[in-house]
Amino acid sequence: MLDTQPDEGYTTADGRKIGGVAMEMKNITLRFGGVVAIKDISFDIRWGEVRAIIGPNGAGKSSMLNVISGFYNPQEGEIIYKGYRRPRMRPYQVARTGIARTFQNIALFEGMSVLDNIMTGRLNHMKANIFQQALWWGAAQREEEENREKVEKVIDFLEIQHIRKTPVARLPYGLKKRVELARALAAEPSILLLDEPMAGMNVEEKEDMCRFILDVNDEFGTTIVLIEHDMGVVMDLSDRVVVMDYGKKIGDGTPDEVRNNEEVIKAYLGVTDD
Amino acid sequence: MLYREAGDFKTSYTSDNQTFPIRFDRYGYYFVLGVAFLIMPLILNDYWTNALVVPFLIYTIAALGLNILIGYCGQLSLGTGGFMAVGAYASYKLMTGFPDLNIVFVILLSGLITAGVGVLFGLPSLRIKGFYLAVATLAAQFFLIWLFTRTPWFFNYSPTGMISAPTRTIFGVPVTGASASAVSMYMVCLVFLVALAWLARNLTRGTLGRQWMAIRDMDIAAEIIGVNPLWSKLTAFAVSSFYIGIAGALLFTVYLGAAEAGEAFGIDKSFLVLFMVIIGGLGSIFGAFAGAFFLIAGPVLLKIMLVDNLGWPTDLAAHLEIMIIGALIIVTLILEPHGIAALWRTIKEKLRLWPFPY
């Protein structure tokens, strides 16, 4: 899908190819009763880029991610994905269009092993019907092994071989975050949404996570949209940044542009107008 | 040193995915199957078959079914007794309506009919969760029993309101009705149980099982990664009710022979199977066996000990039995809230390192 609009692509300083527009938000407005969580926001996501959404607490970043993953349906505006306007969809239907995500508060399946958790990420690639599964015959067994192989690659990639069969509930926080990333990656998404992938991590774990995110983007060419509070991380990782405040977009551009944007500085440092 | 996994390297995903990855377990499983199919039929007498073995086999099927719904998919249900009644009355109507139909198909069809009814009563689960769902299924329990006692069509207008199973044969051997022998009853139930347990294991280790468990552990995250909640909840209700329906049909046709809905399939049966699932271990196939054994064999063994060995009066023993079983349930739940299956897992993990735990 990289060449939907080939003329718009460009190459970054470090030699990665950024394609045309993958997804475009057009005038998205999301309200909860009287509260306006997102107010008339438009931005786009290009194939292959790392797109960050930043902003103070309560700015509507997570709501934006929830809109993309179909968890909320905005009252106004539309989402153009892969060149088509996306109709209202349930979250599981959105997942089937190649969008995977991780959560701010880890949302793993605590009662299952790491391997089973990551295997759930392959659900959309498994088609055996209930009778084949009951008899463990034909497509069911074949799929199980093919997908296990894919999952093992993700496990190798994220260096979690040693905890493969451990129940998730027993893992420390940092590893849980990594398993959650593994589950999202196992789906082989076109767009990967990461909601604060580094929240609550120590420096070493953050560095590991940064490395994984860059590797995912680099090796698989996965488009990544991430929300993060650590400005150092955001400025280093991302190609373009959207800045939100009180549900409005106050900045959009490369990390350097955003860093020098008056309004962004105001929102973050709290400069008064007079 | 027999029970170990060190040195038992797996070279393919098939062998890594098998049900009993440890060699000793595998041989133990074959041994148990061998004893069940070859040796038990030779040594079973009428008393043990009727008091212990056949009820254990049938309730294990019901516990497997309920475990799929509660333990794997996390949907609380108190309608087990009602769904068993659906299986029983379906088998009765099929047996009397189509006398030439083989009993095996009668039981399977009863399971399918119950699955349909289960899906119908599972529909509220899409909207309500937890205790509220339990109350909705409780309504199913009372409604179904009311339906079967008040609608004469279901018991073929018999004046007593009872249903009774006519004699049916498999390969010329009677398995239902008064002339059925203990061994034939045992074999029918055993074959159904082994087949259904195998199917349950396959369903729960594959994609569908992972969908169920995902819904159980965190339904929002499950939906985000692509699990259709409608499909997974309703399949869980269907499969669970299929098992419970077969258990109900077997209980009526093979074991009881005659039944009345309110008495044989009352709310106490719902709780009995629920206790089996909780004590045995939620989300475990082995747990269904362990829980059913605990609650079926417990009272029988206590009665033998108190009445036959100590010579206590029967009524006193019956009351003590209820109290002791109740106390045992509480003690088990305090010591091991995740059931006998979790206890078994802990023992296995210790054994893996034994005798050199470093």
Model confidence pLDDT, tens digit, residues A50-60: 999 998 888 88
| Cβ-proximal residues to B114 (8 Å cutoff; 6+ apart), any chain | B83, B86, B87, B90, B241, B242, B244, B245, B246, B248
In a domain, B63, yes or no: yes
Q: Which chain B residues are Cβ-neighbours of A95 within 8 angstroms? A: 223-226
Q: Which chain B residues are Cβ-neighbours of A145 within 8 angstroms? A: 12-14, 17
List the single residue in B with minimal CA-CA distance to A188: B225
**Residue B7: predicted pLDDT:** 62
In the 3-class helix/strand/coil scheme, how is B32-85 assigned residue by residue? HHHHHHHHHHHHCCHHHHHHHHHHHHHHHHHHHHHHHHHHHCCCCCCCHHHHHH
Report CB contact under 8 Å: A144, B206. Answer: yes
CB contact A133 to B (< 8 Å): yes
Mean of the per-residue pLDDT values of chain A? 87
In a domain, B197, yes or no: yes
Report CB contact under 8 Å: B202, A124. Answer: no
B162 within 8 A of B175, measured Cβ to Cβ: no
Q: What number is the average pLDDT over the span B287-310?
A: 88
pLDDT in tens, A155-185: 999 989 889 888 899 899 889 999 999 999 9
In a domain, B103, yes or no: yes
Q: Which helix (H) or strand (E) holds B239?
A: helix B229-250
CB contact A134 to B (< 8 Å): yes
CB contact A164 to B (< 8 Å): no
**Residue B8: predicted pLDDT:** 65
List the single residue in A with minimal CA-CA distance to B282: A111
Number of compact structural domains in chain B: 1
User: B189: helix, coil or strand?
Assistant: helix
Domain, as residue range, for B89: 46-266
Higher per-residue pLDDT: B4 or A140: A140
**Residue A271: predicted pLDDT:** 61
From the list A69, A119, A134, which residue is nearest B203 (CB)?
A: A134
From the list A95, A135, A149, which residue is nearest B225 (CB)?
A: A95
Q: How many CB atoms lie within 10 A of CB A123?
A: 24
Q: Using CA atoms, how far apart are residues B125 and B241, in angstroms rounded to an integer?
A: 14
Q: Are strands A76-81 and A50-54 parallel, antiparallel or unpaired?
A: unpaired
Report CB contact under 8 Å: A143, B218. Answer: no
List the single residue in A with minimal CA-CA distance to B195: A135
Mean of the per-residue pLDDT values of chain B? 88
B334 within 8 A of B341, measured Cβ to Cβ: no
Copy the structure tokens of residue A20.
Answer: 């045309």
CB contact A111 to B (< 8 Å): yes
Compute the nearest-CA separation of B210 from chain A (Å): 6
Compute the nearest-CA separation of A117 from chain B (Å): 8
CB contact A68 to B (< 8 Å): no
Among B22-26, B166-170, B343-347, the least confident range: B22-26
State the fold for domain A1-90+228-274.
Answer: Rossmann fold (3.40.50)
Among A26-40, A99-113, B339-353, the least confident range: B339-353
| Cβ-proximal residues to B225 (8 Å cutoff; 6+ apart), any chain | A92, A95, A100, A120, A121, A123, A183, A184, A187, B214
From the list A103, A120, A135, which residue is nearest B214 (CB)?
A: A120
Q: Using CA atoms, how far apart are residues B144 and B82, in angstroms rounded to an integer?
A: 6
Higher per-residue pLDDT: B321 or B267: B267
Total beta-carbon pairs less than 8 A apart between chain A and chain B: 102
Compute the nearest-CA separation of B222 from chain A (Å): 8
Q: Which of B231, B227, B208, B209 is nearest to B219 (CA)?
A: B227
Higher per-residue pLDDT: B1 or B150: B150
ipTM: 0.86
B45 within 8 A of B101, measured Cβ to Cβ: no
Q: Which chain B residues are Cβ-neighbours of A71 within 8 angstroms? A: 220, 224
Which one of A6-10, A251-255, B69-73 scores highest in mean pLDDT? B69-73
Confidence of residue B161 (pLDDT cuts 50, 70, 90): confident
Q: What number is the average pLDDT over the span B105-131?
A: 92
Q: Which chain B residues are Cβ-neighbours of A104 within 8 angstroms? A: none
Report CB contact under 8 Å: B221, A111. Answer: no
Q: Using CA atoms, how far apart are residues A263 and A242, in angstroms rounded to an integer?
A: 12
A46 within 8 A of A191, measured Cβ to Cβ: no
CB contact A177 to B (< 8 Å): no
> Which amino acid is located at A19 in the chain?
G
Q: By CB neighbour count within 10 A (0-12 exposed, 13-18 middle, 19+ buried), where does A152 fall?
A: middle
Question: Above 60 in pLDDT, residue A1?
Answer: no
Compute the nearest-CA separation of B77 from chain A (Å): 20
pLDDT in tens, B49-92: 888 999 999 999 999 999 999 999 999 999 999 999 999 999 99
Q: Which of B15, B22, B225, B240 should we substitute to test contact with A (largest number of A Cβ atoms within 10 Å)?
A: B225
| Residue showing tokens 């082994």 | B194
**Residue A34: predicted pLDDT:** 86
User: B271: helix, coil or strand?
Assistant: helix
Report CB contact under 8 Å: B13, A148. Answer: yes
Q: By CB neighbour count within 10 A (0-12 exposed, 13-18 middle, 19+ buried), where does A11 fall?
A: exposed
In a domain, B36, yes or no: no
**Residue B110: predicted pLDDT:** 95
Question: Above 50 in pLDDT, residue A3?
Answer: no
